[in-house]
Structure formats: C-alpha cells, structure tokens
Amino acid sequence: MEQNIILIGFMGSGKTTNGRRLARKLNMDFIDTDSLIEEKNKISIEEIFKRYGEKYFRKLENETILSLSNCKNKVISTGGGIILNNRNIDILKENGIVILLESSVDNICNNLKNSYKKRPLIQKKNWKEDVRILMKERKEIYENSADIIVNVDGKKHNQIVNEICCIIKERA
C-alpha cells in the first residue's frame, strides 16, 4: 500500500481513535494533523484559537496539509474543519483515499460530552445546539469531500476498523 488513508469527519466522530487502530492493524505510520500543529507550535489548539483566532488556525492547518503532500503509506487523521478549505482535500487526495467517518448529531454529542470544552468552536453552554448548527453547515461538504463514506453510529472501534480494511482491500 503506497496510498495514504485519510480520515475526515466531524469532531467526535472517532477519527483519531480509529485512525490509530487502523494504522496499527495495517502496520502503517499514524499522523494526526491537530497533534502536528500542537507539536510544531508548542501550544494547544484551544490556545491557538484563544490567542490568534480561527483564521490563523486554518492557515496553520493548511500549512500542515501542504507539509504532508509528499508523504506516503500513512494513516492521517484530520481536524474536523479540514474540509472548509477545498485545497486541503485536493492535496490529500493526490496521494490518498479520503474516508468520511459519518455520524449522527446524537452520537457526536454523546462522544463529546466529556471533551466539548476543549473544542473552541463548541464551548458554550448550549454546545449541543452548536454541534447541530455546525453539522448542518458542513454535512454536504463532508460528503462531497469523501471518496468513501463509513457510517460509525452504534459501531465498535474494531468493527469500524475492519470495515475500512475491507474497503481498502477491495480497492487495491
């Protein structure tokens, strides 16, 4: 396998957890774009938003994707907003297959209930409403950005990972 496997999807859809497991199973390296940004800038995503705002974060996000344009044979988990710049998706697609982990708002809210405060875009008291609004704005962009859509609702991690492995094998 030369191609990268790129996971996209809303916050809390399981990109990082499933990406890590997938990489282990396929014996590939794992990269998480949010972690790369944090390591490179020595500051948390939350702090970047607080100090410099979303626009600046999106610039760092795009630079990170550009820096990955030559990498191969990696599983790459992306931040939920990666699809907001279609250049990001174009770059990622040059060397890889883009898989959307699609999830319902209820499932997302359940997954985020202990960690929503760390997500700058949904930190408010009515965070579930923020999730609903953001999902409505983005759903179509996620779907249009994906080569493959995997629904993750009600599925265990190993089921999701196995499903992705089957899809990848079929395409090889």
Residues in contact with ligand S3P by the rule CB under 6 A: 11, 15, 34, 45, 79-81, 119-121
| Cβ closest to ligand S3P, residue 141 vs residue 148 | 141
Residue 170 CB, nearest approach to ligand S3P (Å): 27
Minimum distance, C-beta of residue 13 to ligand S3P, in the bound complex (Å): 7
CB nearer to ligand S3P: pick between 79 and 96: 79
Q: How far is the CB of 137 from ligand S3P (least distance, A)?
A: 10
Structure tokens at 151: 């629904």
Phi and psi (nearest 5°) for 48? -60, -45
What number of other Cβ atoms are within 10 A of residue 147's Cβ? Answer: 15
Q: At what angle do helices 33-41 and 54-67 cross, to 10 degrees?
A: 110
Amino acid identity for residue 70 in this structure? N
Question: Between residues 34 and 102, which has the closer beta carbon with respect to ligand S3P?
Answer: 34
Minimum CB separation of residue 41 from ligand S3P in Å reads 13
Nearer to ligand S3P, 123 or 171 (CB): 123
- Beta bridge partners of residue 77, listed in sequence order: 7, 32
For CA atoms 162, 89, 53, 56, the dihedral sign is positive
Least separation, in Å, of the C-beta of 131 and ligand S3P?
10
- Residues 5/148, Cβ–Cβ less than 8 Å: no
Nearer to ligand S3P, 11 or 31 (CB): 11
C-alpha pair distances (Å), 59 with each of 64, 80, 145, 147, 169: 9, 15, 19, 24, 34
Side-chain half-sphere exposure of 25, counting CA atoms within 13 A? 19
